[in-house]
A and B are shown apart, each in its own frame.
Chain A
Amino acid sequence: MKKILSLALAALMVCPLLTACGGSAGKYPNGEINVLNWGEYISDGQDETLDVIEKFQEDTGIKVNYTVCPDNETLYANLKQGDSYDVIIPSDYMISRLIAEEMLLPLNFDNIPNAADVDPNFLNPAYDPESTYSVPYMWGTVGIIYNTSMVNEAITSWRALFDAKYAGQVLMINNSRDAIGVALKTLGYSYNTTDPAQIAEATDLLIQQKKDGIVQAYVMDEIFDKLEGGEAAMGVYYAGDYLSMHDNNEDLAFVLPSEGTNIFTDAMCIPVGAANQENAEKFINFMCSTEVGVANCEAIGYSTPLMSVKEALDAEITADPVAYPSDEVLAGCEAFLNLPEATLKLYDSEWLRLKA
């Protein structure tokens, strides 16, 4: 018995050791970078698209350790936990929080010549007033995605998410800022209110929505499978992702609710503690090249802040009001701003009040 078991064990042990030795050290002579991105947010070689990461590794000989996380708050936790990243792609409000907490490094734009391609409208934004820390990657809006075969009306308002008619059919977004934001807009308040009473009222609305059994689940990228597969009738998510979902399920429709919605920019930054700043800048520069920008836009459906990319894209894409809404519509959108410390704490505790 024991002999055989030890033999089997030994055999089992040899296999991984062997495969592990055939590692990748020789393949990437120029060091490595750790990249943290959102899920489904890069062209990854699936369905005959360009594998951006693979191409970067081949072109530069720099190994990319690529990880994803679901939302800005988790990204913040990862940074605080001491995980070391070289490139992160947080959203606007989180960037200003990270700048305020001195968690970002100023970029050396000599290494990022492609940043000159950024549309001037995206330069010096409110979250990074002198564009010292960030290079915009994508932008977009948040709206309601719904399945027209399951919803028999044209949805126009956030109110639809709280309609008892759709009990068990609504997917809410699973992060505090976006979810409470939806409720704030439904009530006619600003996304950036610091009034505790308004935030509490918004949370109460969400609690009622959950209690009434309207919410099926709180999701982030799980929403792709659920909406494409007809598992739920509607959900709150990002415009770009709607475009990808629509490719897989023609019944899906998207609406920017009439109360106004969130417009966001996600930008590439280098956090303090990055071990390979120069390589990180090479990566950012690479992501800003026209070829890569076009591949990313085509794969993920989000809107580009790069002028040459927008020009190179199919007219069909750039004329789509979902990805590139008219100025009039955009005027009704509001960006998230970083909130004061006390309000952030309130968001955390209100979010837990909802989830607990």
Chain B
Amino acid sequence: MRKNHFGNRLLLALTFVFLYAPIFVLIFFSFNATKSRTVWGGFSLQWYVRLFQDDAILSALRTTLLVSVLASLIAMVAGTAAAMGFAAMKRRSRHTLMSINNIPLTNADIVTGVSLSLLFMLAIGAFNATIGKAAGITLAKGFGTMLIAHVTFDIPYVILSVMPRLRQLDPHIYEAAQDLGARGFYAFRKVILPDLMPGIVNGTIIAFTMSVDDFVISYFTAGNKVSTLAMEVYSMARRKISPEINAISTLLFISVLALLVIVNLRQTRQNSAMRRQRAALTPKT
């Protein structure tokens, strides 16, 4: 393929400017000395100080991370197991189940959110009116219901990225391992898992990303006791806006950036180490 000329690179550059302009605006005004989001009033770190005193935002951040981590971990295990179970099924039933699995992906978030909120509303109402009344427990929507919702839309991503790996798997390897005396789970861990690992990791990362990025489904399922960062921002953007939002955006951006840079540096180093190793092993001619 031919390389890009200047015009093409310009388009790429402009796209990146477009994608990052709002983020840089957020970062820039997080250092503003006044409350204004559009007029620069001098440098200050006051919004960072306020941010670390603001329980609502900090606990929203905690909730966001906690629900995303838990949901993607649960999805990782459950999704991998489910994918393996699906792979063992006959074509027809696998096909049906995969279609159901795809529903949360193709459906609009709001439909998923609304339908789950109906379920939770009725289930909790029924519980409170019967068992709850007898036992003196009142349930309500909260972290638990939101976690269920996140797990529900996270699992399909894990399944979708594990499935192709499973299909490439040679079934005979597992049998061979068993013939050589490796038993059930040990054989799985030593033989199957390493092959599936890239798919599992990939799927878990996507699931985590989707959970962090989610607003709509959390909004409908979280109830009134917990709120995620997105819900907090949505609620704040409809009131007096505090530049604390800018401050937390900046911190988020920097931590994500740092994480990605570290992962990438280590990876390139590993790659080049591998290349050197391979070069050393190949006989020189």
Contacts and interface: CB of A to CB of B under 8 A. Distances in A.
A68 B225 CA distance: 11
B197 A2 contact: yes
A4 B263 contact: yes
A179 interface: no
A65 interface: yes
Interface in B205-252: 205, 208, 223-225, 227, 235, 237-241
A83 B140 contact: yes
B66 A67 contact: no
B267 A84 contact: no
Contacts, number: 90
B73 interface: yes
Interface in B251-269: 259, 262-263, 266-267
B276 to A, nearest CB: 17
Contacts of A273: 128, 138
Interface string B138-171: 1011000000000000000000000000000000
A34 B224 contact: yes
Contacts of B120: 82
Given A1-B267, A16-B62, A222 B239 contact: yes
A73 interface: no
A221 B66 contact: no
Interface residues of A, number: 37
B30 interface: no
A82 B66 contact: no
Interface of B: 36-38, 56, 62, 65-66, 69, 73, 117, 120-121, 124-125, 128, 138, 140-141, 197-198, 201, 204-205, 208, 223-225, 227, 235, 237-241, 259, 262-263, 266-267, 270
21 contacts: A1-B267, A2-B201, A4-B263, A9-B208, A12-B65, A16-B66, A16-B69, A17-B69, A39-B238, A40-B240, A66-B56, A70-B238, A82-B121, A83-B141, A221-B238, A222-B238, A224-B239, A225-B37, A225-B240, A273-B138, A275-B138
Given A16-B66, A40-B240, 13 more contacts: A4-B266, A4-B270, A5-B263, A12-B208, A13-B73, A20-B62, A34-B224, A70-B238, A82-B140, A83-B224, A222-B237, A229-B36, A273-B138
Interface of A: 1-2, 4-6, 8-9, 12-13, 15-17, 19-20, 34, 36, 39-40, 65-68, 70, 78, 81-85, 220-222, 224-225, 229, 273, 275
